Amino acid sequence: MPLLSRTNLFLTMIALLVGLGGCSDDSAASGDARVEQYIRAQPFPRLVLEIESVAGSEPYGGTEARLIGRLAQILDKPGGIEAIRDETIASRGAHHAWSFDELDALAAQRFNLEVDSDTIKMLVMFVDGHYAEDSASSKVLGIAWRQKYLVIFKQTIESSCRKGALIPSLQDKFCQEAELTIWTHEIGHLLGLVDNGLPMQNGHRDHEHGRHCTRKECVMYWAYTGNDLFDVLQTRFLAGNEQSPGFGPDCLADLKAVREK
């Protein structure tokens, strides 16, 4: 993925790429304080995921609850973690190529859910169309930036996950697990993983592949940024394991160190 830098703009961009294994970023420095605020109980004991979607591109039912279950195990939020499906995003068409500037402007406009003063929030947008940086060999599945915005290209995910060789009865479950994996991976980057604003307790960053974990069993492993995501999920499914990967021990140690300091 090409580096999408902007003058005087400190952001973190994380893209999941089909066929191109890697993520790019500029600087996480401006988001370090927000990373701690996501993880610790103070000053915000409550976290809200503000979800906005194009009609027909909403997250799978039940995915939010499973994601919240994962987050509840790694974040100190005694006030709770809640996913709120807020407003509908107007479709720009199935063939629309989203530029980063469009997404950045849309996120700034849409990040408007009113929450209590004890609450920190992040914006999650599910859109149709595709990313303008897509090519014949690489498709962007999701992007996270500014330590508070996240977009998931639902149409691209659906197109990719349904090309596998799984029997039809497992296709929906397979795509749901792929969506959960991507969502978890992107939120992991917003939480500062790996070495993306969150200090490492052990040297587990794979420097050859951006801000990803060296452990294959971790959802932050670099290979989950490309076709390997679907290959690994298919292997797991055929072996009887229909669950997407979670955070590995090194990522959990990084989160715990900030949560308990």
Three-state SS string across 193-250, please?
Answer: CCCCCCCCCCCCECHHHCCCECCCCCCCEHHHHCHHHHHHHHHHHHCCCCCCCCCCHH
Return the percentage of the chain with pLDDT > 90, whole number: 65
Strand, helix or coil for residue 175? helix
Strand, helix or coil for residue 68? helix
What is the Cα–Cα distance from 18 to 135, expressed in whole angstroms? Answer: 10
Name residue 149's beta-bridge partners: 123, 145
The pTM of the full predicted model, rounded to 2 decimals, is 0.87
Segments making up each domain of the chain, as ranges: 14-259
Strand, helix or coil for residue 144? strand
Instruction: Quick: pLDDT tens for 81-120.
Output: 999 999 999 999 999 999 999 999 999 999 999 999 999 9
What is the Cα–Cα distance from 129 to 229, expressed in whole angstroms? Answer: 21
Pairwise pLDDT comparison (261 vs 166), residue with the higher score = 261
The label of the residue with tokens 């509908």 reads 88
Return the percentage of the chain with pLDDT > 70, whole number: 86
Residues 6+ apart with CB under 8 A from 222: 21, 22, 23, 206, 208, 209, 210, 212, 213
Domain topology for 14-259? Collagenase (Catalytic Domain) (3.40.390)
CB-CB contact of 72 with 81 (8 Å)? yes
Helix (H) or strand (E) holding 64: helix 63-74
238 pLDDT higher than 60:
yes
What is the Cα–Cα distance from 96 to 158, expressed in whole angstroms? Answer: 16
Residue type, 141: L
